[in-house]
Every structure is written in structure tokens, then in C-alpha cells.
Amino acid sequence: MKKPYFSHTLLKLLFSFSALGSVAFAGSVSPEIGGIPATDPFEAIVVLNQSSAAINWASYGATYVSSLPNGALCRLEPSAASKLAQNSAVSHVSVNHKLHATGTALPVYDYLPESLRTTPQSIAAAANPNPQLGQNIGVAVIDSGIQGASADLTSSGGGIFWFGRGNSAVIHSESFVPGEDAGDYYGHGTHIAGIIAGDGSNSTGSKYPNTVHGIAPGVNLINLKVLDRNGQSTDAQVIQAIDWAIQNRWRYNIKVINLSLGRGVYESYKTDPLDQEVEKAWLAGITVVTAAGNGGRNSAANGYFTIGVPGNDPLVLTIGAMNTKSTPSRGDDTMTSYSSKGPTFGDHVVKPDLVAPGNKIFSIQVPGDYLETTFPNGIVPLGSLQNGNSPKPSTTYFIMSGTSMSAAAASGAVAVLLASPGNQLLTPDQVKARLMITADKFPPNTFWTITDPSIPPPNTFNVVADIFTVGAGYLDLDAALNGSFANTIPFNTNAASPIAIKVGTFSHNGKVQLYVVNDNSTVWGDSTIWGRAGSTVWGDSVWGATVFRSGSTVWGDSTVWGDSTVWGDSTVWGDSTVWGDSTVWGDSTVWGDSTVWGDSTVWGDSAPPWANSTVWGDSTVWGDSTVWGDATVSGAELDGDPR
């Protein structure tokens, strides 16, 4: 089992997944195999890290059938699959499904740029790329590299670094991966870059009903590669890249860092080296945008407490994922079932901060990369891009799902905000506060029931629009651009996300109340306030009047976020009750009487929680061979939720 002090490895990002193929990690087994009777042999596709000659198939009771690109086909019993997965040559074991003609519709465009807008005029305008959006803003993409040869990136770029069409949006590249250049051989970083800055050149013209483009085509991208061709990195490499961005922020006008990556929480953000580094960037004037994680389906606690590092840091802007339902209007949008939920493990920071589109997102493809060759079903068919219904794969776009994508969308929005008139001098805290205050609030009692037919039962997930799931709400770029005194906090104040404090016990029939307080660490400092004394800045304007589902509550019968919320001498959250009068979790018990998240585990009443094996063991959340464990989040749900 992992120790809380070990040298962390960012194992094949929990946030980088193809939408139509399950992105697998070394040693993982499709959860579907667990539902096959133990003595029933089946055909398995084994994705390999090396030649099949390295495997003695008979020693696993398996019969070798044939070779496959990047793998082999064999026949074995379910009980042998997990043993085979432990072989260092094996990346993933899946069922060899039978296919037949069904007439299933081709993937539909995601309308991500339109979904960040809320007025009819801006929604219509967002259908086409605008090279002025984000102009002059440098965005550091710390990821698997960027393949800058795509026409979607070579025709874009902004401001003082843009000398006309044909100039790359990528103005500088550095690799922090030993033995690899800054090219993208994994495919994740280029996809992220396209969401931020793609200008749609590869999908422009009369035969294309939609132009696949990013949020801020005018930005300058700084490519800082930390993930190798297999999607792996270390804390040290990411820290080096962040430090490079800090040191070179003036040269390249770096105002935004996008971190669509993460790992488990093994110590407090106050001491975690990666958290400490993102705080340095934030305090240096760079808005750091991070993915929340894809742990929302973790059954141990309904996905709560699964925010990853560095998204667990109070300063940074942490983003969860929404499903646009492939329409330009957000009226039918839903929360995703896989988006990680707060509060953060151990420190109990209220996260995520916002949600943005992240489900089945079209963006730039890297021909021949790991994701394309291993998961070809993620390639966007021509019929999804052009008029007609051709199933032939395109060579330009790929589909992925996850909070990686939603973080990139938010990074693009931040760049647009910082490049807009009157907002160029906003601090990272002012940016964060502006986006949270103006976020679209979910109506009281909002919840979603999501069924994923691509995985075996239990495959239905109930998602509640509480603060630990949706944060301050759905990012609304139109509202954020309309800055005012009411939604702009003072220059010298700090928007660190608060801490959730419980009062009471989770034992049977126990009553628990939750409060939000400023942490006593130096992150907040003496000048920490969320608004001006005497005015309502956060209160109802941030999380909505009643973000919690009403009914009987696990947490207690009284108002959860009542007037006794502790904020010190000055009014921080405004005069009204911060979270509204309704209760937290609704009629269905989220935590349960015998929950593993009781007093002695995540809330750490009796001992520090960092090394607790119930929470961080191999088969629960952060397993050794995969980021989220074989049977939790690394399965088919990373294909994305149904549209």
C-alpha cells in the first residue's frame, strides 16, 4: 500500500480519457469482467506495453489466439484476468465484444463554446471562432506536450506574438521529461490546447455544419511538457514546469496555467510540495486552473472526498465537469456522474469551485499518438464533422471526457476575461471571485439520475447539486465579462476556498452540522475576506439561495449553514445565511449509518487521516496500478456519460 510520504507518481492521468474507448492504465481490468461467472472462459483483448512474447500465457491458464495492434487476443477465465493484469507487460484486459449493425447515431458535436454563454446573441456568436478572444494572454499548458502542426493551432495565436495566419499559437515549448522532446506522443496535451485555443481551421467551410474550435483562439500557448508518451509524470517534473512558468511569466505574459492532471491526496495541502508550488504561481499573479478529478463514481462515499492534488489547494480554481448534451443551450445540461466531489480529503476544503463542459468533447487529434492508436473509437468520424453520415475516421479530431476538458474550458474563459476591456489588471483572486459570483446557480433541489448502459449494473448514479459537487455553479462567461463593483472583490483580498467544519457525529442517528471557516494557515493571511464588511458578496449570490436538496438530512435537522457560521470579526459571507435554509443531502442517505467516512477516517477527529487504509487502499480510490483503482473510476465510465 502507498505510504503518505512516498515520491508521488502521476500515473497516467485520471483526467485524460477518450470518450468512446476506455482509456486503460497498466495492470487494469475492465469492471465488466467482474460480472462474468468465474468458471466461464471468454475472449479477452490484452493491451500490452511490450511484445506478447514476454508473457507465458499458459502460466495464467490462458490460450493465446492472435496478435493485435498494441496487444493480443487470448481466451481465459475471469479469475485469471486480474492475475494476468499484474504482469508488467500488461496495460489492460478487456472483453472482446461482438459487434453488429445497430444504426446508432454518430457522435454529435459538443457545442462547448456556446455552452459557456447565456444570451442568444453571444451563443450565436460563439459558434464561430473569434481570434480577438484572449489576445495577448499567455496560457501555460502543463501536460503531455502540444503537437503544434495542426492547422487549428498554426492559424491562431494572438496579440504581440501573432504575425498573421500560419503563425503557431504555440510560442514556446519546453520538455521536463527526460529523453523526450516537447512533442505530444500521448495525445492529451494537444486536445487540451485545442479546447483553449483551437481556431477550427480543420472544420471550416460549407461542408462543415459546425466549426470545432476553442474558447480563446487569440491566446499564446506555452507548451510545458511533463507527461511522457505513456501519460506518466512525477511531482518533481510538474513542480519544475510550474517554476519555469513563474520565472518566465513576464517574458511570455503568462497569466494562466492549465493543469489538467492530478493524483491522490497523501498529506495536507499546507505541506504537499505540489500544492505549495501552485500557491507560488498564484501569488506570483498567475491564475492556476486545475481539474477536480474523475472520482465521482467512487462507491465508497458517492464520490465525495475525491478531489485530487493540486485541485485540493484552497487558492487555485478547481473545475468539475458538466454534460452539454450536445446542444448549444445549457438548458438541458446535466452534471456528469464521474466528476470528483469535495470536500477535499483531510483538509476539507470546499471544492470544486465551478463546473464547466467536459463530457464527450471534440478537440485536436494527434495522428499516431498513444490515445489514437490504442483507442481508435475515440476518433471523430467524418460524418460527425461534415454533412452526410460517413463512419470513416477523420484525421483531425478526437473525443475525450473528463474534468481535464472542463479545466481547459475554464482556462480559456479566464484568458478571455483577462483580455477584455477593464479586466486586464484583475488578480487571480479577483478572477476566481468574479467567476464564482457570476456563475449560473442551479435551482433549489436540483439533482440528476444518470444511467450508463455501457457498464454492468450497478450503473445508475444519483448526483445532487450541492456545493461539494457543483461548487459556486456553472461558469457563465457572459456574466463574468460584465464586471461591476458588486462582483469584483478588492485588489488586496484573497478568494481562498473555505474549509468545511463539522459539529456532531456521523454515528447512528447522530446529528451533524457543517460550517465554513477560514483556515488559520498563512494561505489566507490577516487580510482574508470574501467581500466588504456589511455587504452580501458571497451569500446567496455565490452558491444560490438553496443549493441543497430539501427533506430529511443526514447532517441534522437544523439549518446546516446557519447564522453562527464562523468568519471572525468582519462580515465575510454577507449578512444572510451563506448556504440558504435548506438541508444538505436530501431524502436518500448519502453517507449511511456505517459509512467509511466516519469520525476516525476523513474527518480525522481521532487521528490524522492521511495513511488510512480504508480510504486510500489499493482497491478503493487511489490504487497502486491505476490512479483510481481497477474497480472504480478507471472503467468504462471514462468513456463519458451518455449524451
Q: Is the pLDDT of residue 566 over 70?
A: no
Q: What is the mean pLDDT of residues 82-103?
A: 69
pLDDT digits (tens, 9 = 90+) for 475-507: 999 999 998 877 888 888 888 998 888 766 655
d(CA 319, CA 497): 13
Q: How far apart, in whole angstroms, are the C-alpha atoms of residue 373 and residue 368?
A: 6
Q: Give the model confidence (pLDDT) of 347-376 as tens digits.
A: 899 999 999 999 999 999 999 998 888 888
What distance separates the 2 farthest-apart alpha carbons in the chain?
74
Q: How confident is the model at residue 391 (pLDDT cuts 50, 70, 90)?
A: confident
pLDDT at 41: 85
Could you tell me which residue, 85 or 583, shows the higher pLDDT?
85
Name the pTM for this structure.
0.75
Residues 161 and 163: their CA atoms lie apart, in Å, by 6
pLDDT at 388 over 70: yes
Window from 16-30, 121-135, 241-255, 531-545 with minimum mean pLDDT: 531-545
Q: Which of 111 and 70 is assigned the larger pLDDT?
A: 111
pLDDT value at residue 324: 95
Q: Is the per-residue pLDDT at 527 higher than 80? A: no
Q: Does the pLDDT value for residue 183 go beyond 80?
A: yes
Q: How confident is the model at residue 196 (pLDDT cuts 50, 70, 90)?
A: very high
pLDDT at 111: 92
Residue (of 427, 403, 255) closest to 341 by Cα position: 403
Residue 104, pLDDT above cutoff 70:
no
Give me the pLDDT at residue 365, please: 93
Q: Which domains does the chain have, with CATH numbers?
A: 21-95 (3.30.70), 112-464 (3.40.50.200)
pLDDT in tens, 416-439: 999 999 999 999 999 999 999 899
**520 confidence band (pLDDT: 50, 70, 90):** low
- Tell me how far apart the alpha carbons of residues 126 and 215 are, in angstroms, rounded to a whole number: 8
Say what the pLDDT of residue 271 is.
85
Mean pLDDT across the chain, nearest whole number? Answer: 75
What is the C-alpha R_g of the chain?
A: 23
How confident is the model over 309-323, as a mean pLDDT? Answer: 95
CA 486 to CA 83: how far, in whole Å?
59
Average pLDDT over residues 7-18: 34
**pLDDT the model gives residue 503:** 67
Task: pLDDT band for 331, please (50, 70, 90 cuts).
Answer: confident
Q: Which pLDDT value is given to residue 514?
A: 65
Q: Residues 6 or more apart from 317 whose CB is under 8 A from it?
A: 287, 288, 289, 290, 353, 354, 410, 414, 428, 431, 432, 435
Handedness of CA 195, 201, 207, 211 (dihedral sign): positive
CB contact at 8 A, 354 and 317: yes
State the pLDDT at residue 411: 98
pLDDT-derived band at 318, boundaries 50, 70, 90: very high
Question: pLDDT grade, residue 513 (50/70/90)?
Answer: low
Residues 47 and 3: their CA atoms lie apart, in Å, by: 29
Strands (E) across 313-455 are located at 317-323, 334-335, 354-357, 361-364, 379-381, 393-401, 447-451
The per-residue b/e assignment along 190-213, b for 16 or more CB within 10 angstroms, e otherwise, is bbbbbbbbbbbbbbbeeeeebbbb
Give Cα 620 distance to the centre of its chain.
19
State yes or no: pLDDT of 9 exceeds 80: no
Of 313-317, 386-390, 494-498, least confident by mean pLDDT is: 386-390
Contact partners, residue 42, CB within 8 Å, separation at least 6: 33, 36, 75, 76, 77, 78, 95, 96
Check residues 407 and 507 and name the one with the higher pLDDT. Answer: 407
From 112-121, 197-206, 403-412, 607-616, the region with the lowest mean pLDDT? 607-616
226 vs 301, more confident:
226
Q: In the structure, what pLDDT confidence band is assigned to residue 225 with cuts at 50, 70 and 90?
A: very high
Q: Residue 25 above 50 pLDDT?
A: no
Judge whether residue 563 has pLDDT over 50.
no
For 8-22, 60-74, 434-448, 482-496, which range has the lowest pLDDT when averaged over its residues? 8-22
The stretch 528-538 carries a mean pLDDT of 35
